[in-house]
Structure 1
Amino acid sequence: MSRTRTSFSASSRSTGQHSDGSEISCSSRIHACAGAVCPRLAPAIDQNTVWLVAVRTADATLEEAVETVPHLAEAYFELFDEPESFRRGALLAVFPDVDPGDAAKFIDGGHARVRAGFVRRGLMLGEFHKASSVGSVRNPEFTVMQSPVPMFAVRALMTHDILFLDRPGEHREELLGYYLEHVGGHAPAGRRSRPADPRSDGAMA
């Protein structure tokens, strides 16, 4: 990323440098949260497996999102390097330099470009920003992907993610192939819930 000044930061626990010169340091674990929007998040908080990082960007363009966001997958593998923590963990990455009122191109556009690479590695990537209109699986009127600060969320691929991956689109077969590779015989026989909002990957669902 020689054209950008992107860096990742949180508190101080571990710091590393990627081959392109960008840095990431992570240590802020989330210990408490009011309210239960996501069924996965509360147990992850209780088990101290939620990490928060701030990602600084130079231009906040779509191109920078495409170059920067894939590093979150590397960070996830570094933070959750044991099978159990990998399965239960969550990485929340906020982008304070991205204008919340104009974040859709960076967040939604970046998500569309890089999510297949995350699924290929057994991860789900969720996109959050202030203007998101993506609804919940069970309540479309509940806009679950809104966040006052632009954010991506990363977690391990789960069996229920068939709801988000098995839908019309040019990458459907590719995504389902990755899903079956990682979930294998644990894949559900059929859907028991309504189809997910086609715009969402339900990163914290």
Structure 2
Amino acid sequence: MLTHPTLDIPPLVEPRDLDGELPDAVRLSEEPLRAIVDWAYKYLCQPHPELGRKGDVCPFTESALVRNTFYMAVCEGVPADASQVANTVAHYRDWFLELPPTGGPNAQFKTILILFPDLAGPELHPVIDAAQRMLKPAYVSRGLMIGEFHDGPPDKAGLWNSKFRPLRSPVPLLAIRHMVATDFPFLSLDDDHVAAYLHRFGDRVPTHLQPQVSAATARMGRVLP
């Protein structure tokens, strides 16, 4: 378990921490933490018949778990609005960038999941969705992705099956990870997001995404490198 060196925010808990005795403050959040670890192993790290491709639902989660770069924080209570959620999660963005590994091949497997167990229920799901939209520009500009998950599920379709809604989770949460080359479909509609993607991956766009990237860059009056 990691505590922030200067800020009074909920600590980062690793799955292996749940095998030992938890501090009192974290023990109160044990149920949602265990629910998310169980979900990670049984859903994210498994194939799904509706996914539309071979492999796990999330191709990075198992590697993050194996490398001990899978972190969770639990924010109890009902935030006043999406802005309060966004302000809380912004602290974890900065912490994410400081956490080792900060470079090398293992860095791409680092992830932080910020859980909001008291935002469960359809009337509160829009708070998570709105916070994600607020946060996304600042994350993308730094080469990061911020994803929203809840049991709604969020209305974003799978990349390989438009009828599949992959972002379902048992606890509402926002997930931070590094941007990867296959993320372009999540960024293609915003010129600033496209520019951030091209800055990092313009010379190594995956073959199956090159038509989409070319169309977006043409819209912006640019061409691929």
For Structure 1 versus Structure 2, the TM-score category normalised by the shorter chain is 0.7 to 0.9
Partner of residue 183, structure 2: 161
Contact 1:92 1:154 in 2 (8 A): yes
From 112, 126, 136, give the equivalent of 1:91: 112
Question: Identity of aligned pairs, percent?
Answer: 24
Q: Aligned Cα RMSD in Å? A: 2.6
TM-score (norm 1): 0.74
Q: Where does residue 109 of structure 1 map in the other structure?
A: 130
Aligned position for 1:59: 79
The 5 Å alignment of 1:159-198 reads 159-167=181-189, 172-188=190-206, 191=209
Gap runs ≥5 in structure 2: 17-36, 47-55, 214-225
Secondary structure, counterpart of 1:52 in structure 2? strand
Structure 1, unaligned runs of 5 or more: 1-11, 196-205
Contact 1:124/1:154, CA 8 A, preserved across alignment: yes
Please state which structure has a larger fraction of its residues in helix: 2
Task: Encode CA deviations 1:86-110: one digit per residue, 9 max, x unaligned.
Answer: 2221111111232333232211111
DSSP 3-state at the match of 2:59? coil
Q: TM-score, normalised by structure 2?
A: 0.68
AA aligned to 1:121 is R
Q: 1:29–1:82: structure 2 CA closer, same or farther, 3 Å change rule?
A: farther
* Counterpart code for 1:56: E
Aligned length: 177
More strand by share: 1
1:123 aligns with 2:144: yes
8 Å Cα contact 1:108/1:127 also seen in 2: yes
Moved over 6 A (4+): 192-195
**Aligned-partner residue type, residue 98 of structure 1:** L
> Which stretch shifts more, 37-46 or 145-154?
37-46
Greater Rg by CA: 2
Say which SS state the counterpart of residue 139 (structure 1) adopts: coil
Aligned to 2:23: none
User: What residue in structure 2 maps to residue 198 of structure 1?
Assistant: none
